[in-house]
A = this chain, B = another copy of it.
Amino acid sequence: MNHEPGRCLALSGGIGGAKLVLGLSQALGPDRLTVIANTGDDFRHLGLYVCPDIDTLIYTVAGLSNSSLGWGREDETWSCMDTCRQLGLDTWFRLGDRDLALHLHRTALLGQGVALSEVTRDLCARFGLPIAIVPMSDDPVTTTLTTDRGVLPFQEYFVRQRCAPVAAAIRYEGIERARPASAFESLLGDPALAAIVICPSNPLLSVQPILSLAGIRERLCNAASPVIVVSPIVAGRALKGPTAKLMRELGLDCDALAIARLYADIADGIVIDTADADQGAAIEALGVRVLATSVVMHSLADKVRLAREALAFARTLAGTRLSSG
List residues of A whose CB falls within 8 A of some B CB: 46-48, 76-77, 79-84, 87-89, 96-98, 100-102, 104-105, 107-108, 111, 126-127
Most buried by B among A82, A89, A104, A105: A104
Q: Does A104 lie within 8 Å of B87, measured CB to CB?
A: no
Complex-state Cα separation, A81 to B79, whole angstroms: 12
* A105 to B, closest residue via Cβ: B89
Complex-state Cα separation, A88 to B126, whole angstroms: 7
Complex-state Cα separation, A80 to B103, whole angstroms: 10
* A91 to B, closest residue via Cβ: B101
Q: Does B105 lie within 8 Å of A79, measured CB to CB?
A: no
On chain B, the residues within 8 Å of A80 by CB distance are: 80, 97-98, 100-101, 104
Least Cβ distance of A4 to chain B in Å? Answer: 30
Q: Does A100 lie within 8 Å of B98, measured CB to CB?
A: no
Q: Does A127 lie within 8 Å of B47, measured CB to CB?
A: no
* A104 to B, closest residue via Cβ: B46
Q: Does A98 lie within 8 Å of B82, measured CB to CB?
A: yes
Q: Does A46 lie within 8 Å of B105, measured CB to CB?
A: yes
Q: Does B77 lie within 8 Å of A107, measured CB to CB?
A: no
Copies of this protein chain in the complex: 2
On chain B, the residues within 8 Å of A105 by CB distance are: 46-47, 84, 87, 89
On chain B, the residues within 8 Å of A87 by CB distance are: 101-102, 105, 126-127
On chain B, the residues within 8 Å of A84 by CB distance are: 101, 104-105
On chain B, the residues within 8 Å of A102 by CB distance are: 83, 87
* A95 to B, closest residue via Cβ: B104
Complex-state Cα separation, A236 to B177, whole angstroms: 66
Q: Does B108 lie within 8 Å of A83, measured CB to CB?
A: no
On chain B, the residues within 8 Å of A98 by CB distance are: 79-80, 82-83
On chain B, the residues within 8 Å of A111 by CB distance are: 47
Q: What would 17 more interface pairs be, CB under 8 Å, given A87-B102, A89-B101, A97-B100?
A: A46-B105, A47-B104, A47-B111, A77-B79, A77-B97, A79-B79, A79-B97, A80-B98, A80-B101, A81-B101, A83-B98, A84-B101, A84-B104, A84-B105, A87-B105, A88-B126, A100-B100
* A126 to B, closest residue via Cβ: B87
28 A-B pairs within 8 Å (CB atoms) are namely: A46-B104, A46-B105, A46-B108, A47-B105, A47-B107, A47-B111, A77-B77, A77-B79, A79-B79, A79-B96, A79-B97, A79-B98, A80-B100, A82-B98, A83-B97, A83-B98, A83-B100, A83-B101, A83-B102, A84-B101, A84-B105, A87-B105, A87-B126, A88-B126, A89-B105, A89-B126, A97-B97, A100-B100
Least Cβ distance of A44 to chain B in Å? Answer: 8
* A110 to B, closest residue via Cβ: B47
Complex-state Cα separation, A125 to B77, whole angstroms: 26
Q: Does A48 lie within 8 Å of B104, measured CB to CB?
A: yes
- Nearest 8 Cβ contacts at the A-B interface: A47-B108, A79-B97, A83-B101, A97-B97, A77-B79, A83-B98, A87-B126, A46-B104
Complex-state Cα separation, A283 to B199, whole angstroms: 79
On chain B, the residues within 8 Å of A127 by CB distance are: 87
Complex-state Cα separation, A104 to B84, whole angstroms: 9
